[in-house]
Structure 1
Amino acid sequence: MSAETLPVATPAQVRAYARRLTLRHPRALFGALALHGLAAVAGLVTPRLLGELVEGVRDHSVDIDTVGLAIAAFVIVQSVLIRYASLASARLGERVLAELREEFVDRVLALPLSRVERAGTGDLVTRTSRDVDALATTVRYAVPETLIAIVACAFTFGALLLVGPLLALPCLVALPLLWGVMRWYLPRAHAGYLRENATWADMTDGMAETVNGARTIEALRLAGRRHRRVDDDIAAAYAVERYTLGLRTVLYPVIEMSFVLPVAATLLVGGWFHMHDMASLAQVTAATLYVQQLIGPVEMLLMWLDELQLGGASLARLLGVGDVGPDRSPNGRRPAGETLTARDVHYAYRDGHDVLQGIDLALRPGERLAVVGPSGAGKSTLGRLLAGIDGPRAGSVTVGDEVAHVPLVELPLDDLRGHVALVTQEHHVFRGTLRDNLVMARPDATDQQITAALAAVDWDGPELQTVVGSGGEPLSPAQAQQLALARLVLADPHTLVLDEATSLLDPRAARHLERSLAAVLEGRTVVAIAHRLHTAHDADRVAVVENGRITELGTHHDLIEANGPYAALWSSWQR
C-alpha cells in the first residue's frame, strides 16, 4: 500500500489564516507595536543630537555636556522601552503559538483513521514535530522581529525625510537590487522548503518502518534493501537542503552589498550638497547616521524573511491537515437490529488493485466468527471494513435487519462505535494513571465496572492509580494488549472485531484470556482474526480468506470434513 501524503494548504489559505490568527488579539498587538514605535522614536533622537553636536562643535555654539546627557537619557529610555516591547511581543507570540498548537491538535484528532493510515507514519510525525518546531521559531522570533523591523524602518525613514527630503534619495539606490533578488528568491524558497519538509517526512516514514519491522527485516534478510531506502531518502533530503542553501548563498551576499551602497551614496551626495550649501553639516551627519541606523532593521527584515518562508511552508503543511475531508457521510437514519452484513464487497488501496473481491458475509447476532487464512490474504482489511474504519470501493457493509439497515460509513462516529469496535495488536498506553487509560473508553465508568473489566482480561499489572505510559511505570506488550481489551469491555459495543488482539500473549495465556472474554462478552458478536487456530476451533463459524475472497465458511468440524484449505491449515498447525 503506497502512502498518500496529506494535503498542503495554498499560499492564499496560509496568508488568510495568519492574518486571522494575528488579529485575534488586537489590543495586545497594538500595545506591542506602540511600545516598539516609541522605542524607535527614542532611538531616532540620538542621530539628530549627534548631528547638532558636530555642527555646534565647529561653531562653538553647543554645550557638549548637556547634549551628552540628553543622548544618554534617550539611550536609557530606548533600552527600557525595548525591554517592555520585547516582553509584550513574546507574550503575544506565545499566546498565538499556543492557540495554533491547540487548533492543530484538534485537526489531527479529527482526521479519519483511514486517511491517517494511508498517509503513513512519517508524514504526520514530521508535521507534528519538525513543522511545529519550525513554526514555533517563526512565531516566537521571526514574526515579532519582522514587525519590529517594519516599525523601525518606517520611523527611521520618516526621520530621514524630516532631516531633508533630498538626503533621503541616496538611500533608495539599493532598492532595485533588493527588489530583484527578493523577487527571484521568494517563490523558489517557498517551493524549496515545501519539498524539504516532504523529504523529511519520507525519511522519517522509512526509518519508522525499518524500526517497527526490524524482526521481519532480519528474518527475510531485507537489511540491504532497507539500507538502500534510507540512503535514497537521505540523498533526496540532502539534495533539497543543498538547493535551499544555494538560494541563501545568493540572497545573503546581495543583501550585504545592498547595505554598503546607501551609506556610501548618502555620504557622497550629502557631501556634494554641503559643498554647494544645499545641506548643513548637521543634516548630512544626521542623514548618514539615520541611513546607517536603517541598515539594522532592514537587515533584520530581510534575514527573517528566510525563516518566514520556512515557517510559511510549515504552516501550509499544518493547515493542510484540516483540508482532509470526512470519510463518512451520516444520513441520520437509524438501523434496526445489530446484524452486520457485507454484500459483494470490493476494496482497493490503489486503483485497479483490489485486495478484497466479492465478499459476502452475514454475521449472526451473538455468534463468534473466526477469520483465518494465509498472510496477505486480506483478513485485516476485511476486519477494518467490518469495523467501519474504511468503506468498500464497491458493495456495502451495513448494520441492521433487512427492513432498516444503514451502511457503516453513513453512521456518525459515536454511533458507529456503539455498534462495532476494532482492537488490533497495535496499542498505545497514554501518559496518566491506569484508570485514566481505561475510562477514556467510557468516562462515566465506576470503579466497580473498571475492576470487572480488568478481571475479564486477567489483569496482572499495576494498580488503578499507578502512573503508566511515557515516564511512568512501563507495561509489557502483553499488558498493553490486556489494557486495550479492558477498554473494549468497558466500551461494550454489540460487535467486536479482534485483529490478532491476543497475539502478544503466550499461547496458553492467550487461550485462557479468550475464554474469559467469551464469558464476559456473552451475547456479543465477535469477529476474531487470528493466526492461532485454536481460536477457530472454539468459534461458532470459520471464514477462510484467500486472495481477497472467502473460499470457505462453516463450522470447524464441517470444514475439517470438507478437506479443503481450512483442513490443510489445521493439519499443518497441528504438526
Structure 2
Amino acid sequence: MSAQGNLLPVATGRESWRTLRALARARRWPLIAAVAALVAGSLLAMLTPLVLGRIVDLVAAGKGAAAMTGPAAALVAVAIGAAFLKALGQVLVARVGEPSVAELREKALERALDLDLETVEAAGTGDLVSRVTEDMQLVAEVARDILAYFAISLLTIALTVVGLGALDWRFALAGLCAVPIQALTARWYLKAAPEVYAAERVARGALAQRQLDSIGGARTVRAFGLGERHLAGVAEASRAAIGLAMRAVRTQTRFYGRLNGAEFVGLTAILIVGFLMVRADIASIGEATAAALLFIRLFDPINIVLGLLDDIQQGGAGLARLAGVIDMPRRPAPEHPREPASAAVETEGVTFAYRPGHVVVDGVDLSVAPGERVALVGASGAGKTTLVKLIGGVHATGGGAVRLGGVPLEDLDQATLRRTVALVSQEVHVFAGTVADDLRLAAPEATEERLWEVLTMVGADGWATALPHGLATVVGEGGHRLTPTQGQQLALARLALADPPIAVLDEATAEAGSAGSRELEAAAARVLRGRTSLVVAHRLSQAADSDRVVVMAGGRVVEQGPHEELIAAGGGYARLWEAWRAHRAE
C-alpha cells in the first residue's frame, strides 16, 4: 500500500487483486456458470464465418438454391443460439457484478465512517469523498457495463484464432502479423495509462477538496474577503484536472490509431495469403472467405478488449483507491477492555499538536465530576474544540492521559466509547430521509412516542407537527428544507435518544440567530440535565448557566471556577463578560 503526501493510501496491484478475489470467491458458482455460457456462445458464434464460407463454395460450384437451404437454416440457428447464450452469460455476470459492487461499496463506506477524524482531516475530506463517490461509480460501471463485454471479447479472440488455425495454419500465421503491433500498443498503453489516470483521480480529489473548503467556509471566505484567492485556487485545481484529462484523451487517441494500423496489416496479410493459396489450389474460395471473415470478426473484440483497457485502467485506479481505504489498519482494540465506573471526566497533562512544533493543547489538567456541567470559553484558537475532541476520543493525545469514569481511553473499545460520550458540533447536517429515520440513527428501536418525547424536549414538536407528513416527511437532500435551528434541534434530539452519560456540545448553538440561539440554549439545558457535560460556549450566557467555567488561552487552562466567583475575581473572564454584555447592549 502506498501513500501520497497526506492523502489516504492507495492499494498496490496485489492488494487490489486480493480484494477482487475475495469478492469473486463468495460468488464462485454464478461466476463459473457465466463463464460456461459465454464460452458456449462464443463457440457457436464462430460457426457463422465457416457457414458463410461453405455458401460461397456452393455458389462457386454452381449449386442451386435448394443447396442453400441447409446452410441458411444453420445460420439462423447459430444466430439464435449464440444470442441466447450471450444474453444468459451477461445476466449471470450481472448476478456476480452487482452484489460484488454492493459489498465493495458497503465495505468502503463502513471503513470510511470508522476512520479517525485526524486522518480524514490530514488527507482532506475531498480525497475521501471522491473515493466513495467518483471512484465507486467507476468501479460500478466496470462491473455493470464493461465486465461482460470484456469477457466475451477475450473468449471470441481466443476461439477465433483457434478457428483460423483449424482452417489452415497459414491463415493463422498471416493473422498473427497484426499481433506485434497490437502487443506493442498494449504494452505502451498499459505503461502510460495507469500513471495518467491515477494522476487524474488525485487531481479530481484535490479539486473536490478546494470546492468543499470554499463552499463549507463560505461565510468566513466572504467575511475576510478571500473570495478571489479561493476562486484562484479552484481555477488552478481545475486547470490541473483538465490538463490531465486532455493528456488522457491524447493517450487514448494514439492508442486507437495504432490499433487501426494493426487491423490493416493483418487483413492485408490474410487476403494475400488467401489469394496465393486459392491460386495454388491449396484452399477453396470459401475457405479464404471464411478466413477473412474470421479475421474481420476479430476487429470488434480486439478493439473492445484493448479499448476497454481505458475503462479498466480507470476502474483499476478507482479500485486501488477504494481498497486503500478498506485495508487501512484499524485502531487497535484494547487487549482487556474495561467499562467506565462513572460519568466522571479527567485529563492529566494532556497535550496535542496537529503539526510538529505547533502545540494546540498544552498540558491541560481538568477534572469534571459526574453530572457536572462545565463551560469552556476563550478566544478562537485557544484549544477548546481540540480538548473536547480529545475527551471524545476523536483525536489521540500527543501526551498525557484522558480518563472516563476512571478508565483511560485506550482501555475502552470503540462501542463503549461511543456509548459513553457523544459530541454535537456546530456543523449542522440533516441526513436524507424522513424525520423519524433521521432521529432513529441514534436509537433504531425508538418508538414513535419516544421520538415525539425528545422532539418536545428540544422544542421541535411545534414545527415537526406542522410538517406535511409529520415524522414521515422527507428532509435533507432533495426533501423538506430545515432551518439551521431546526437542524440543531434534531441533533440535540438524537443526543437525547442516544442517552450517553457524558455529552459534549461544541458551539452547538453558533449557527442560529439570536432568537434561535435562545431556543437552542434552552433545549440544550434540558437535554444535558443529569449528564456530565462539557460545553464549548459560543455565547457567554451558556457559561453563566454552567456549574463551572474553564477559561483557556494558548492551549492552557488559565482560569476556572463558578461564574460568579470568576466575575468577582476581576480577571480575564470578568473582562470578557463585561465586553460581551456591552456588545449585547448595543
Task: Judge same fold: TM > 0.5, yes or no.
Answer: yes
Match of 1:121 in 2: 125
The code of the aligned residue for 1:413 comes to: Q
- Answer whether contact 1:339 1:363 (CA < 8 A) is retained: yes
Match of 2:44 in 1: 42
Pairing 1:152–2:156 present: yes
Distance 1:468 1:425, change over 3 A: farther
Match of 2:471 in 1: 465
- The correspondence of residues 27-426 of structure 1 with structure 2, limited to 5 A, is 27-60=29-62, 63-327=67-331, 329-331=333-335, 332-400=337-405, 405-426=406-427
SS at match of 1:86: helix
The code of the aligned residue for 2:272 comes to: L
The code of the aligned residue for 2:7 comes to: T
Q: Which segment is superposed worse, 324-333 or 166-175? A: 324-333
Deviation at 1:12, TM superposition (A): 0.8
Deviation at 1:302, TM superposition (A): 0.7
The code of the aligned residue for 2:416 comes to: D
Q: What CA distance in whole angstroms lies between the structure 1 residues aligned with 2:115 and 2:453?
A: 33
SS at match of 2:46: helix
Deviation at 1:32, TM superposition (A): 2.5
Q: Which segment is superposed worse, 428-437 or 494-503? A: 428-437
Q: Which segment is superposed worse, 503-512 or 190-199? A: 503-512
Q: What CA distance in whole angstroms lies between the structure 2 residues aligned with 1:66 and 1:53?
A: 10
Q: Which segment is superposed worse, 300-309 or 6-15? A: 6-15
Match of 1:10 in 2: 12
Question: Residues 485-530 of structure 1: CA distance to partner in whole angstroms, max 9, x if unpaired?
Answer: 1111222222211111122334455345434543553332111101
Match of 2:549 in 1: 542
Q: What CA distance in whole angstroms lies between the structure 2 residues aligned with 1:556 and 1:444?
A: 40
Q: What CA distance in whole angstroms lies between the structure 2 residues aligned with 1:32 and 1:193?
A: 30
SS at match of 1:366: coil
- Answer whether contact 1:340 1:398 (CA < 8 A) is retained: yes
The code of the aligned residue for 1:467 comes to: T
Q: What CA distance in whole angstroms lies between the structure 2 residues aligned with 1:3 and 1:441?
A: 35
Q: What CA distance in whole angstroms lies between the structure 2 residues aligned with 1:90 and 1:509?
A: 51
Distance 1:249 1:70, change over 3 A: same
- Given candidates 524, 533, 548, the residue that maps to 2:531 is 524
Deviation at 1:303, TM superposition (A): 0.7
Question: Residues 303-332 of structure 1: CA distance to partner in whole angstroms, max 9, x if unpaired?
Answer: 111110000001111111112333453241
- Answer whether contact 1:391 1:409 (CA < 8 A) is retained: no
Q: What CA distance in whole angstroms lies between the structure 2 residues aligned with 1:519 and 1:79?
A: 68
Deviation at 1:181, TM superposition (A): 2.0
Question: Residues 129-156 of structure 1: CA distance to partner in whole angstroms, max 9, x if unpaired?
Answer: 2112211211112211110011111221
SS at match of 1:427: coil
Q: What CA distance in whole angstroms lies between the structure 1 residues aligned with 2:93 and 2:444?
A: 40
- Answer whether contact 2:343 2:371 (CA < 8 A) is retained: no
Q: What CA distance in whole angstroms lies between the structure 2 residues aligned with 1:67 and 1:435?
A: 67
Question: Residues 81-106 of structure 1: CA distance to partner in whole angstroms, max 9, x if unpaired?
Answer: 33333333344333332333233333
- Answer whether contact 2:107 2:326 (CA < 8 A) is retained: no
Distance 1:515 1:255, change over 3 A: same
* Unmatched runs of 5 consecutive residues or more in structure 1: none
Distance 1:509 1:47, change over 3 A: closer
Q: What CA distance in whole angstroms lies between the structure 2 residues aligned with 1:68 and 1:448?
A: 73
- Answer whether contact 2:488 2:520 (CA < 8 A) is retained: no
Q: What CA distance in whole angstroms lies between the structure 2 residues aligned with 1:451 and 1:80?
A: 56
Match of 2:569 in 1: 562
- Answer whether contact 1:357 1:549 (CA < 8 A) is retained: yes
Deviation at 1:534, TM superposition (A): 1.1
Question: Residues 417-437 of structure 1: CA distance to partner in whole angstroms, max 9, x if unpaired?
Answer: 232211111132223332332
Q: What CA distance in whole angstroms lies between the structure 2 residues aligned with 1:493 and 1:275?
A: 91
Deviation at 1:61, TM superposition (A): 5.0
- Answer whether contact 1:370 1:527 (CA < 8 A) is retained: yes
Distance 1:285 1:410, change over 3 A: same
The code of the aligned residue for 2:9 comes to: P
SS at match of 1:377: coil
- Answer whether contact 2:492 2:523 (CA < 8 A) is retained: no
Match of 1:450 in 2: 451
Distance 1:138 1:541, change over 3 A: same
Q: What CA distance in whole angstroms lies between the structure 2 residues aligned with 1:485 and 1:177?
A: 66
Match of 1:20 in 2: 22
Q: What CA distance in whole angstroms lies between the structure 1 residues aligned with 2:82 and 2:421?
A: 66
- The correspondence of residues 491-502 of structure 1 with structure 2, limited to 5 A, is 491-502=498-509
- Answer whether contact 2:46 2:160 (CA < 8 A) is retained: yes
What is the count of residue pairs matched by the alignment?
Answer: 570
Distance 1:478 1:378, change over 3 A: same
Q: What CA distance in whole angstroms lies between the structure 1 residues aligned with 2:332 and 2:544?
A: 36
Q: What CA distance in whole angstroms lies between the structure 1 residues aligned with 2:512 and 2:231?
A: 32
Q: What CA distance in whole angstroms lies between the structure 1 residues aligned with 2:78 and 2:341?
A: 80
TM-score normalised according to structure 1 size: 0.93
Distance 1:448 1:89, change over 3 A: closer
- Answer whether contact 1:339 1:365 (CA < 8 A) is retained: yes
Pairing 1:571–2:572 present: no
Percent pairwise identity: 38
Q: What CA distance in whole angstroms lies between the structure 1 residues aligned with 2:27 and 2:20?
A: 12
Question: Residues 13-43 of structure 1: CA distance to partner in whole angstroms, max 9, x if unpaired?
Answer: 1122223323432332233333322322222
Q: What CA distance in whole angstroms lies between the structure 1 residues aligned with 2:29 and 2:414?
A: 40
